[in-house]
Amino acid sequence: MTDAVGSIDMPDAQDEAPESKKTRKGGKRGKKGPLKRLALFYRQIVAELRKVVWPSRNQLTTYTTVVIIFVVIMIGLVTVIDYGLSNAAKYVFG
């Protein structure tokens, strides 16, 4: 039984890979030596770093200030909760 898209029992013709063609392991990277692969890796790193949008000094200062304020608030919150729970434990367990 088939439908318009195909079924699991009968895959589409384009999905079937020819069995006569051998696939080699590694692809293009299989031919290159370790130094060439390392050089390619570093070139790709540099290419990706060029795509990064770096923040300006003003944005960086703002982000850093927000993070520091958030961390200080969280430290205060955890300290208050810890102090309250420790006093509650002392009250209950004496």
Please report which confidence band the pLDDT of residue 10 belongs to, taking 50, 70 and 90 as the band edges.
Answer: low
Please report which confidence band the pLDDT of residue 18 belongs to, taking 50, 70 and 90 as the band edges.
Answer: low
Residue type at position 57:
R
- CA distance linking residue 6 with residue 38, whole number of Å: 44
DSSP 3: -
Question: Residue 31: what pLDDT?
Answer: 72
pLDDT, tens digit, 9 for 90 and up, residues 28-81:
555 778 899 999 999 999 999 999 999 999 999 999 999 999 999 999 999 999
Q: Which residue has the higher pLDDT, 94 or 39?
A: 39
Instruction: Report pTM.
Output: 0.49
